[in-house]
Every structure is written in structure tokens, then in C-alpha cells.
Amino acid sequence: MRSTEGRKGKVYLVGAGPGDIGLLTVKGLRCLRKADVVVYDFHLNAQILNYAERGAELIYAGKRGGHHEMTQEEINRILVEKAMEGKTVCRLKGGDPFLFGRGGEEAEALSAAGVEFEVVPGVSSINGAPAYAGIPLTHRDYSSSFVVVPGNEASTKRGSNINWQALAGHSGTIVFLMAVKNIRNVSERLIDNGKPPDTPVAVIRWGTRADQRTLVSTLGEIPDAVENGEIRPPAVIVIGEVVRLRERLGWFERKPLFGHRVLVTREHAAGFEALEDLGAELLEFPTIRVVPPLSWEGLDAAIERIGSYDWIVFTSANGARFFLRRFFELDRDVRELGGIKLCAIGTKTAAAVREFGLKVDLVPETFRAEGLIEAFGGPASVRGLRILLPRAETAREAFPERIRELGGEIDLPVAYRAVRPEGRARRLRRFLKEGRITVATFTSGATFRNFLEMMGGGEAMERLRGVVIAAIGPVTSRVIREAGLEVHVVPERATVEAMVEAIIRHLTTEGS
């Protein structure tokens, strides 16, 4: 973490959007990434927290089902205290901080305490959920205005500020937030004040998310429809003629992978974007974190004698990046690599090498000992060959053993380690229990084994039995099957891109 000594803190009030992680603004993401402290609510996609700096303090301040984790006064106090400590604070709020998010109260508290702050607006569920349901709030042929009513004002309590007569007479669109529990009262009060019972109504639950559900009815029938459909909060209610456009403009729920939530057990979801493009939601739960070795001694020694090698073999993008970064950190000259041939296993690894401006001489698709030996000129050419293979702390030995059998020399310095992170598993357990994970992906045997350990073993195994399981290749697949689970997707090539393509084929052609 950055040092906070001697500097003044600042608070960013950031709108995180209504659910789809892609709706977080670029500025909001920038504020999150530089925060020392993140104070976040329940009604936001917790995947956004994966973008916080590792080591940032995460403070949950949300509420669910009326249960408050903190009072507003406590939240205000924490924001002020953390800023006074010289820290950069990101206050992450679902939707927009100044739209029914009590962001104004927090800004007032910060202002009164003399704390610098900025407001980063976000996409609100007011317009985000209807847009994903195919309902524009305004349309030249249907509505030129809209009004928004908070759910607590829609209750039957005395002293409500709603002018029901004026609201019923409003010719534009009416949006109710968090009013599902009061839907019968809303319907009755509007009809009693002259709103036609056949006015179209849409109730959108978990708008912009994989489990978005949209119920369309009329003002007179919507209370029974909500009750029979077991629609619960959080939901947005849209009343007006614009609802009729949904039949033609609905787009999100028509995507081929809509409704699927895909578990990604690697540190970053790069390569999985095609699933999102087709409507799936990615749930990142890294079970492996890549970190430097405990000691650079072995790698530094290999770099010191770099000119003695004939080949450098990179078996992964991580191996390439950790080696080359260390090479340049030691102030070595790129020209020292001029007489050495570079081998990168797979196109992703080759791309990582090219990031450093280096040309790759050999790019085999798979890491197979005999295939590489042939590429080096055959078994006879290996004798006397000196090879450097910077790799993970634990790796397969078949290739090094074969090189030595043929009379070659190979050094295997540790360039990085794959460790099990301290994951926050509570939300994932809940999603598995509720059947909200449809696909689980594993990119190595370690990602699967660590997943079971982090999730508590036996219960996780049972939950996975109802999930489509994808393994990146036969080795990973074997580890999962030996544990007693069925593997549904194994691509022909052991790459993330090939696995994603295989998942798409499985979900769209086999009806899983």
C-alpha cells in the first residue's frame, strides 16, 4: 500500500451502477484502483471489488432486507476518520450516489469536517434496469417526461408526500423504486385517482444482471401477477405506455447466454469476454495468485550467465513476464539476448515475450517433450545444448528429464510462485446454494483443488454437481474427475480461448 504519512486524505463518492460491472464508469474505476479504503454497499456487483488495490481495506456498510450493517452516522464517521488518517477513500454506492443513495448526506458530513471529496456519478437503476428490459423512459410517440417515486413514499404510512391525484394524471412515465412490497397500494391509489387499470406496467428485478427478470402486466392486475410470480426486491417498477415497446426493443434477455453466470477461478477474466458479449455474467473468484519467488537467487544466477544458453523456453506468460522484468530490473542489456533463441509455448506466451520488444523463434501450441526436441533439431542435436527454462515453483519434470537423458543441460530457476489467495467465499457459497452459478471453469488442477479448500470441501463438491464444469485440458480434467465430478467441457487445445469457444458450443447447441 502507498504511504499515507504527511498527506491529506480525500473521499470519492462513486456510483457503481445497477449491477452489470461494465456500467461502472472509467473515472469510477480509476478512483477505486487508487483507494486505500473502500466502503461499499450491498446493492452493487461485488465483482467490482476485484479491481481494488491488493491490500486495500474493504469495509462493508450495506444493508439487505432492511438489516443495516451500519447506521448512516457510522458510515459518515468512518469516511471522515479514514480521510483524516491521510487515506484515499472510495465510497462505492450502487447506482448513483446522489439518487436516493444518501450520497448528499455523506457529502455534507465530509464538507462539515473539512474533508476534500469528489462525486463520481453512476448509472442508476432508474434508467439502467428499464434500458436492459427494452423500455425507454421517454419516447417521442409515447412519453416526453418521467417522474421517479421512492418506495418508502409509496407505502400506506401517514404523511406520505405523494400527490396521488397529480401522479395519476401524469401523462408520462412513472418509475417506482423499491416499491414491490407496496405494489398493491400503488396500484389501488393510482386507479382510485383516475389512472386507467389497463395502463401497462413492468416490474424488473435485478436489472442488468444475469438473473434479471421482467414481469409485464397492467396496473389493475400487477399486484396479483407479482404475488403469483413471487417477485421480490430489489426491483424497479415502470408504469406507462413506453412499456409496450419492450416487445420490440427487448435485447438483453434475448442474448444466447443470458441467465448464465460463469465462475472464473483464475486471477483475471481476460479471455472470457466472449461469454459476456453473449449475455453471460462472469463471477471472478481467484483460487490462485501469482507472486514473485521467495528468493531471486536462482533466477539472478541464471541471468548472470545468460550468454551461456542456446535456448530460453517460456512455458507461460507469467514465466516470460517475471523473467524479463527481473532481467531489466538488474539493468541487463537486451543485446545480451541477441545470440539466444527464444521458445514460447502458445500464442499467449509469445505475446507476453513480444511485449518486451523481443522476437520469438519458436511457438509450439503445446508443451510436449518430444515435439520440442524435434524442433531443436532432433535427439542428436540436444547433446551439449544449454537450455534455460524459468518456471513456476512447482512444475512438470518430463521435459527437463528428457533433455538430460539426451545429454543436454537445462537450468530451472524459479521465476514465480502460484499461491492460494485469501478469498471472500461467503457470497460464492450463497450463489452456489441458490443455484445462481451455471458454469464453473478451471484452468489447472491447482485452481480446482484450491477452490475446494477455500469453499470447505464436501459441500462445494455437492453444489458443483448441478453445474456445467469446464476444464482447460486433459490434465485438469483428470484431477476433477478423480475427485468424483463429471467434466462437461474439455477443449481440443489447452487455452482459455479454446475453452470459451467450447463452453459456448456446449451451452448453445446442447441446451445445457
**Residues classed as catalytic:** 41, 63, 178
3-state secondary structure of 192: helix
Spatial separation of the C-alpha atoms in residues 33 and 50, rounded to whole Å: 10
Spatial separation of the C-alpha atoms in residues 310 and 312, rounded to whole Å: 7
Q: In what order do the strands lie in the sheet with 146-150?
A: 146-150, 173-177, 235-239, 200-205, 213-218
Q: In what order do the strands lie in the sheet with 341-344?
A: 341-344, 311-314, 386-388, 409-411
Q: Are 70 and 61 in contact (CB under 8 A)?
A: yes
* DSSP at 139: B
Question: Who's near 38: CB < 8 A, 6+ residues apart?
Answer: 32, 49, 52, 56, 57, 58, 59, 89, 90, 92
Question: Where are the extended beta strands (E) located within 132-224?
Answer: 146-150, 173-177, 200-205, 213-218
CA distances from 52 to 105, 130, 286 (A): 25, 29, 14
| Bond before 234 cis per omega within 30 degrees | yes
207's grid cell: 436489472
CA angle, 47 then 316 then 448, to 5°: 50
Helix H segments across 85-229?
A: 103-112, 125-132, 164-168, 183-192, 222-228
Provide DSSP, 37-104.
EEEE-SSS-GGGGGGSPTT-EEEE--EETTEESS-HHHHHHHHHHHHHTT-EEEEEESB-TTSSSSHH
43's grid cell: 446493492
Q: Are 211 and 258 in contact (CB under 8 A)?
A: no
